[in-house]
Structure 1
Amino acid sequence: MTGVSVASSALWLRRFHPAPDQGPRLVCFPHAGGAASYYFKLSRMLHPFMEVVAVQYPGRHDRRSEAPVENIARLADLITAELKATDSRPTLLFGHSMGALVAFEVARAMEQGGIAPLTLITSGRRAPSTTRATARPMHLHDDAEIVEELRALDGTNSQVLENQQLLEMILPALRSDYRAVETYRYVAGPRLFRPIVSLVGMNDPQATIDEAQAWSRHTAGGFTLHVFDGGHFYLDTHAEAVAQVIRNHSAEDVS
């Protein structure tokens, strides 16, 4: 027994469509400032082929009153505990941007615990072993500068960016997420023995193709890279293609 309650699991793991009786599960990890609802569209596309579960981090939407977790490793540990409480169907992990780091650390923890995921799918994030020199971390910028960063990444509805009340709701969690990502330090360890699939936009300022390719360093189980037209939020316009990539790799895993 893990000691994780049903109520606790419902806080962390969101299901938007009924799960099939059999088949794999896809666990989705949101980007910085993102919420579980970001994956509703992907869940709809993959239903009823597989169960899609989206993680809801503290500090946003119905968990807005909770303090965000500002440490990637700690966040991964909390989510791993929740996943251990679910049934044992074959599981794939999908994380976009910050979510890719969280999913990677969850995959490591799951393998160490003997419940390895079938495949880790990373999106819009450079490999943990890569580094970039930055003059000033984004979480130390003022609100106006963070809003400009959101505009540049083109993943937030412009109406949200122009609504001061909405901004006041989302910026604290976003700043905390930036702090979590920017203070994350990769700790070298054994490579994953399950495959990694890396997805990246051709013009993503957050992850070059070479940086996405570097995820190959972190697995002994095979690596595949998929490059899409677009920037950091390429998956907004290539959702069906991404869904097909997931279907294809899940079919390979369970065959």
Structure 2
Amino acid sequence: MSISTNPWIARLRPASGGRYRLICFAHAGGGAATFRGFAQDLPDDVDLCVVRLPGRESRLRELPVRKMGELVGLLEEALEELLDVPYGLFGYCSGALTAFELARRLRDGGHRPPAALFACACPSPALVLRGSGVHELSRPDLTEHLDALGIIPETILDTPGLFDMFEPSVRADYEVYETDEYADAAPLDLPVSVFGATNDPSTTVPTLLDWRTETSKDFSLRLFPGDHGFFEKDRRVITDAVAAELRGAAARTPGAGR
């Protein structure tokens, strides 16, 4: 299967043939459209690939995956063709936990490891609130929770027919996130860069700082003013930092060339 026909990979701009690749994972219920702005901002030497999970967008008719172990096993196989150049994994919100667990899975499976991991608006894997039960909330409580985060368009939340299509995937993604079984393991042998906001209701500074326990290499934390919406408001700063750090990390990785 070629990258262009792989249903797990969404292309928001033509493949660049760049020296580096950024593989992105969206928030709960999110799809490729989450990273539309990245397609505008990332430089041409970074090939942008967005993971599209079952149950949304062009895969709406497929059943969503509900457990992390199953998901990263499927991703390990589906994304193998993307690992031929130095690459980074970028996760937004719950997608950051998926990116982390996939990085571990790739390491344990003997694959080419990421040059860097980028986590945005997500507590460290050890401090995720696994008992929060968002995936089991009533519909009114679920919509209230999503509205408070401000990452789901109000049109979807306020339109019953649209929310009917959206609800299964967002519940499944939260179930993946909340039922993930964190295991103590050796830190990742790659740099971890974290982005967060000072008033984000889904994180705190200590839960963001705890990501540093997951790496034996460099760690950085960038804090922005505002709430969960900083991902879009400060997007250009984020993408500039990601591109620069991906290049630098790749240059320091043995065998980083094609």
Fold match by TM threshold 0.5: yes
Aligned to 2:183: 187
Q: Which consecutive segments of 4 or more residues in structure 1 shift more than 3 A?
A: 6-9, 131-134
Q: Contact conserved, 1:19 with 1:50, CA < 8 A, in 2?
A: no
Aligned to 1:117: 114
Secondary structure in 1 aligned to 2:90? strand
Give the unaligned 5+ runs of structure 1: none
Q: Which has the bigger relative contact order, CA under 8 A and spacing at least 6?
A: 2
Q: Contact conserved, 2:130 with 2:178, CA < 8 A, in 1?
A: no
Q: Contact conserved, 1:32 with 1:97, CA < 8 A, in 2?
A: yes
CA distance 1:157–1:188, shift in 2 (3 Å): same
CA distance 1:75–1:225, shift in 2 (3 Å): same
Letter in 1 for 2:153: N
Residue number among 205, 216, 231 corresponding to 1:220 in the alignment: 216
Identity level (%):
28
Partners of 1:114 and 1:169 in 2: CA distance: 35
> Are 1:159 and 2:155 an aligned pair?
yes
Aligned to 1:34: 30
Number of aligned pairs?
250
Aligned to 1:65: 61
Partners of 1:49 and 1:230 in 2: CA distance: 31
Write the mapping of 1:103-114 to structure 2, written as runs, cut at 5 A. Answer: 103-112=99-108, 113-114=110-111
Q: Contact conserved, 1:17 with 1:47, CA < 8 A, in 2?
A: no
Aligned to 1:19: 15
Deviations for 1:117-161, whole angstroms, at most 9, x for unmatched residues? 000001111111125485x51111111110001110011222222
TM-score, structure 1 normalization: 0.92
Give the unaligned 5+ runs of structure 2: 252-258
1:89 CA displacement = 0.8
Letter in 2 for 1:222: D
Secondary structure in 2 aligned to 1:26? strand
Residue number among 93, 98, 102 corresponding to 2:98 in the alignment: 102
Residue number among 52, 57, 77 corresponding to 1:56 in the alignment: 52
Aligned to 1:139: 135
TM-score, structure 2 normalization: 0.91
1:176 CA displacement = 1.2
1:20 CA displacement = 2.5
Partners of 1:40 and 1:133 in 2: CA distance: 29
Q: Please report the RMSD computed on the Cα atoms of aligned residues, expressed in angstroms.
A: 1.7
Residue number among 123, 128, 150 corresponding to 2:125 in the alignment: 128
Q: Contact conserved, 2:104 with 2:188, CA < 8 A, in 1?
A: yes
Deviations for 1:74-103, whole angstroms, at most 9, x for unmatched residues? 211211212212351110000011110110
Q: Contact conserved, 2:130 with 2:179, CA < 8 A, in 1?
A: no
Write the mapping of 1:164-243 to structure 2, written as runs, cut at 5 A. Answer: 164-243=160-239
